[in-house]
Every structure is written in C-alpha cells, then in structure tokens.
Amino acid sequence: MTHYGYAGNILKVDLSNGKSKRMETADYSDRFFGGRGIAAKIYWDLVPPEAGAFDPENCLICVTGPVAGFNGFAGSRWQMCGKSPFGDREAFSYANFGGKWGVALKYAGYDGLAIQGKAEKPVYVLIENDRVEIRDASPYWGKSAFEACDMLKSEYGKGFSVITIGPAAERLVSFATILADDGSSGSAGLGAVMGSKMLKAVVVAGESRPEAADPERLNDLAAQVREITETAHYEHGLWKVTESFRYQVCYKCGIGCGRHTYKDAKGRKCKSLCQATMFYFFPILAYSGGEDHETRMLGTRLCDDYGLDTAVIHGMVDWLAYCHRESLLNERQTGLPLSKIGGPEFIEALTRMITYRQGFGDLLGEGTIKAAESVGERAKARIGDFVATRNSETKDYDPRLIPMNALIYATETRRPIQTLHESVELLFRWISWANKEENATFSSHRLRRFAERLWGSEEAGDFTSIRGKALASKKAQDRAYVKESMILCDLSWMKIWSGYFAENIEEPALECQIFSAVTGKNVDEAGLNWLGERNFNMQRSVLLRQGWDGRKDDQLMDYYFNQPLRKNELFCDPECIVPGKDGEIVSKEGAVIDRQDFETLKDEYYELRGWDVESGLPKADTFDRFDMKDIADDLNERGLIR
Ligand code: SF4
C-alpha cells in the first residue's frame, strides 16, 4: 500500500532488552500528520507521565514530516522530542534539526524512530533499511561529537547519516545537545537524555524514496516557491564570514536562508548560521575592540563538539561578564579567566569546565538561572538582562516589545523560536522601512494588512496595546504547529509568506497545496491550521498530564513585569521602535507588561482555544471537536479536563 508522503512505518527500539519493532505510521499520521504532532502522540502512548527525564521509560522520538525528501520546500527538517531534564522542571520538549539525517531515516523506510529503555554499556543504533542493530559504542564513548561522527562515517561511508552526542551529554549536562550532519544540532537538553540511555549515536541509510500523490502538481508548486524566493530579498550572504565559507543549504531544502558551512582544520564541515554563530559576537567586540571571526567560529565549534546549547551559553557568558564587572564573582572562585571574556582562552575554559563538570562548571551545567540563585541575590536580581526563559535561554524577541509573544512564551516549556520568528520577521522588515533604509517598502500599512491576514485583525499590528494579541498568538501558534508537523523550516517560510502574500493576499496558502499534492489529502488553509491546533492541543495534553498546572504555569519570567525595557537592551530592535495604533513610529523604551493585561490576554486566549478560562484546562467538547476523545478521557480520569 502506498502511503503518499510517508514511509509507512515508525521504528521502536528498546535499549533495555535490545528488541525493535515497527508501528504503522498511519495510526499516528491520520490525526497528527507528522513531526511534533506525531511525536507528542507517540510520547503520550509510550511514556508514563511520572517517568523522569533520565528514567529508561523516557522516550526519544525522532520524526520527519510528510514533505521530507521532496526538494524545493525547505521541508526536510526533522524533530526530536522527549522529556527534557532542563529548566525549572523536567518536561516534554523538542528540538528541530536541519541536515540530512531525517531524510535518511525516511529513506531507510521509517517516518520516525522511538528509542526507549537504557543500555548497560555504551551503544549506537545502526539502521539500514530492514537491518536494525544495537552495537557496541565503547570505541566512541568519550569522544567529542565531531570525532565520533568522523569515526562512524569512515566506518560506514558517506552514504550513512549520523547523529552523535559529545562528552557533555555523556555527563548529563542539562543543556547538552545532539550533533547531526553538516554541523546541524538540536537542543532542549535532549542530548543528556541520549547520554542517560548510554546511546552515543544513531547511524542511518536506506534506499526507499517517498512518493507524492501528485508529483506534477508538486513540481509546479516547487517552481512557484522558487519564483517567490528569487524575487524576495534573501540575504544569502548573511552568515558568510570569509571567502572560504560556502553557501550550503540543508539536504533537499531547495530554498536556503544564508546557511553556510566551512571546513575546520581537520577538514570537517561546520556550520555558520544565526544565533549559533553570533552568541560570542558582542563579548568579542568588547574584549578586542573589533571583529575576530576565528574566535567567534571557535566558540560555535566548541559548543557543537562538546555538545552544549549556544542559546544557553550565550546568556551565561553575558551574565558572567556582568558578575565579574560587579565583583560578584572572581577568577579564583570560579577557576575561569573572567578577565578574558571575549577571547579564545575564556570560551575554551568555559565550555571545557561545563562539559567535564569541573569545579564551578558543574554548577553552570545546571543553567544560568540556577547558577545565579546560588551566587546570590544581586546576581539573581539582574538575570532578566541575560535570559528570556525559565530554561536560561538567550534573550530575544521580547514580549515587552512584541506583545503577541507574551502568550507564546508563557505556554511553552522552552524558547519556541519557530513561533517567535513569525512576528519578528515582519517587525525586522518594518524597522528597515521605519529607518528609511534603501528599498525598504514594508510600511506600517503593509504590516497592518499582514496583521489582518495572518493574525486576525489590523489591531494586532499595533504593538503598543494588547488588543487583538490573544488571537494573534493563537493563530501564530497554530501555524507554527503546522510548520513543526509538516515540517517546514520557518527560516524560509516566513519569507515565503511575506513575499507571497504581499501580492496575493487573498490566495490560498501554498503550504496547503503542498500538503495536498504530497499526501493526496485535500485541505484548505483553515483546515491545515485546524490540524496545527489539534497538534498544539496534543502537546498541551502531554504537558498537563506531566504536571503543568494550566493557568498557573502559563507564566513569564518576573522581569517582564517589573523591569522597564531599555534602549540597546535588545539586539533585534536597539531603539525599541514599533508600529503604533495608527501605524505611527513609537518607542517602547520603558515598557513593562502589565500583570492585569497579561491575565486578560490569558482569559481571551483560553476562550479562543476552547479551554476553561479559570483553570486553563481543556474542555471535553473542545477535544471532541478535535477528535481527541481518547485523550480527553485520560485527562478526565486525572481531573485535568473541564
Ligand atoms: S532554510 Fe536554511 S535552515 Fe532551513 S532547511 Fe533551508 S538551509 Fe536549512
């Protein structure tokens, strides 16, 4: 039987007993269609809510979406989900990867891989079509992520795709990452979960190819996307540091976003992309008075090689610099060369000490917030200058500046970057216009048209009030869960939307047409967003069953309420300018989120989601509408439905 867009099977591997079995993708994809949606449902089925992140029952679920393997749609990314050890509580979380590994899994015949149990000694999983083996990883254990990847690639050949963990994950550093092909990496502390399972790597190859229901239409759509992206103003050179950097898109992306790779001294491909490449930029400027690309790229390479999340190290470096300036920490106390923050010696020492849990590095391995709590009140009081989330992730896209992001942050267990990008992409374009940059045409008027089209009202384009923001947050989330389930790369898709809708504001969205051409299931824009909303509700159910206390836990960090926004606080908008009520240019310097406004937003949002306003818990009839009665029954038995 042909499963258009899908390989047809999900592979389950139990590291405790060495057994593997296949589950049918259709049992999951019929309702949850791919990526995050399928992963949340597999997690729901396999993992008891009381299982801890490092318990064998915790499950690492790697999933692609139906578009993976079809060129031209930036649709071959993949997700890893599971209970994360990181942050203020252990909770279901997720990481989104580029590279080739996800497609390789599909080529091997699997839409997903669920790994449960715990091995007694280091192992790796080898998957080659029907061949599934759990193998001894002793020669690779203790090696860095790049080294282990090199060794496995030279053993199996270039046709195999590899994910590995580094020594930070082996030592259960709470924000340890996983490294995939071409320097791609995934965060949310799921590397530590791999480490807890004694799982060093997963090596995959296969010969299957997914089939589309309507290949001709899919080709036409790819041409349409190409046309849009050719005419949009793409900044393909953004992450190019020197001439030796090569523009290289993820496998089967076909669009691109400025992602570059370069070769390190050993000839390995390393990435240059976005925050991962920029996290040490400002400390370097402050230290050396100028750019120092080598040290900047060294920082990224060290994080990838040890397996540390740059989004956490970013805020941590800034916080350590502050503590040093204010004499809250010194070099003797920490064993870190704090006077050299911005130089190579510091980043080498910091990443090494965290990875090997040496001295002060052991405390830092729990994240910046926990470290600040232990250093003392003054260090803790300024934490809001350095981190944005309960998980110590770096500051960006602040809800004091962009009010629709308040609920987006509050209802997620980690920095939901794929959702945040939506408002930010538009704001960036508008700031260029407000600053009268050459060729910048994204005026307040255009932004308001977009707000109406994407977020449900023109009012949502007024960044100075909460009017229309609950609906805007919900719409952005539902669309993000479509992206995270199909899986479409948000770095490209927001640009596609802005290029497409600019001229075709009433046309049906492209992603629906792509979904239909791949799967053969006809769905319009509202229908696809409805599927995204169901997947969001699925993830919410997993969180509730794990102890997320609805309304009480839908929270922001305190500083958003009591620390006025300062000029130059946010790299994305140093002047804090936003579009106001009538599209005028307004500064939000000094803004805080009003607590009552935030509670009002929650009221509106729960209403829009069909959840109980008082508790933030779902209602049974809402879940009936989403064909999630089985989930509602389980929640009901636990008193988690109204
Ligand atoms: S847009 Fe960039 S990050 Fe996204 S899939 Fe393409 S190359 Fe990879």
pLDDT reported for residue 214: 97
Q: Whose CA is nearest to atom 4 of ligand 1?
A: 489
Tens of pLDDT, residue by residue over 179-201, are 998 788 999 999 999 999 999 99
Residue 250 Cβ contacting ligand 1 at under 6 Å: yes
Confidence tier at 247 by pLDDT (50, 70, 90): confident
Residue 188 Cβ contacting ligand 1 at under 6 Å: no
Confidence tier at 228 by pLDDT (50, 70, 90): confident
Instruction: Please name which of 560, 584, 605, 556 lies closest in space to residue 455, comparing C-alpha atoms.
Output: 605
Residue 249 Cβ contacting ligand 1 at under 6 Å: yes
Residue 63 Cβ contacting ligand 1 at under 6 Å: no
Give distance in angstroms: CA of 314 to centre of ligand 1. Answer: 22
Confidence tier at 206 by pLDDT (50, 70, 90): very high
pLDDT at 267 over 90: no
Provide the percentage of residues in the chain whose pLDDT is more than 70: 97
Tens of pLDDT, residue by residue over 29-71, are 999 999 999 999 999 999 999 999 999 999 999 999 999 999 9
Tens of pLDDT, residue by residue over 489-516, are 988 887 777 666 655 555 668 889 999 9
pLDDT reported for residue 508: 62
Ligand 1 atom with the smallest distance to the CA of 76 is 5
Ligand 1 atom with the smallest distance to the CA of 249 is 7
**Can you tell me the mean pLDDT for 602-615?**
98
Give distance in angstroms: CA of 483 to centre of ligand 1. Answer: 13
**Can you tell me the mean pLDDT for 572-585?**
95
DSSP string of 273-318, one letter each residue: -HHHHHTTHHHHHHHHSS--HHHHHHHHHHHHHHTB-HHHHHHHHH
Tens of pLDDT, residue by residue over 366-417, are 999 999 999 999 999 999 999 999 999 998 899 999 999 999 999 999 999 9
Give distance in angstroms: CA of 491 to centre of ligand 1. Answer: 6
Give distance in angstroms: CA of 150 to centre of ligand 1. Answer: 23
pLDDT at 233 over 60: no
Q: Are 471 and 608 in contact (CB under 8 A)?
A: yes
Give distance in angstroms: CA of 186 to centre of ligand 1. Answer: 14
State the amino acid at position 486 in one-letter form: M
Q: Are 581 and 464 in contact (CB under 8 A)?
A: yes
Strand arrangement, sheet containing 60-63: 19-24, 9-14, 110-116, 60-63, 78-84, 91-97
Interatomic CA distance for residues 477 and 422, integer angstroms: 9
Q: Which residue has the tokens 């064993």?
A: 335
Q: Whose CA is nearest to atom 8 of ligand 1?
A: 250
Provide the percentage of residues in the chain whose pLDDT is more than 90: 83
Sign of CA dihedral 33, 35, 38, 40: negative
Interatomic CA distance for residues 195 and 203, integer angstroms: 16
Residue 257 Cβ contacting ligand 1 at under 6 Å: yes
pLDDT reported for residue 235: 64
Residue to mutate, 245, 246, 492, 493, ligand 1, most ligand atoms under 8 Å from C-beta: 492
Give distance in angstroms: CA of 340 to centre of ligand 1. Answer: 34
Structure tokens at 469: 């923001």
Give distance in angstroms: CA of 156 to centre of ligand 1. Answer: 26
Tens of pLDDT, residue by residue over 313-337, are 999 999 999 999 999 999 999 999 9
Residue to mutate, 67, 491, 497, ligand 1, most ligand atoms under 8 Å from C-beta: 491
Tens of pLDDT, residue by residue over 531-571, are 999 999 999 999 999 999 999 999 999 999 999 999 999 98
Taking all residues of the chain, what is their mean pLDDT, rounded to a whole number? 94
Residue 77 Cβ contacting ligand 1 at under 6 Å: yes
With 0-12 CB in 10 A as exposed, 13-18 as middle and 19+ as buried, what is 599?
Answer: exposed
Give distance in angstroms: CA of 561 to centre of ligand 1. Answer: 35
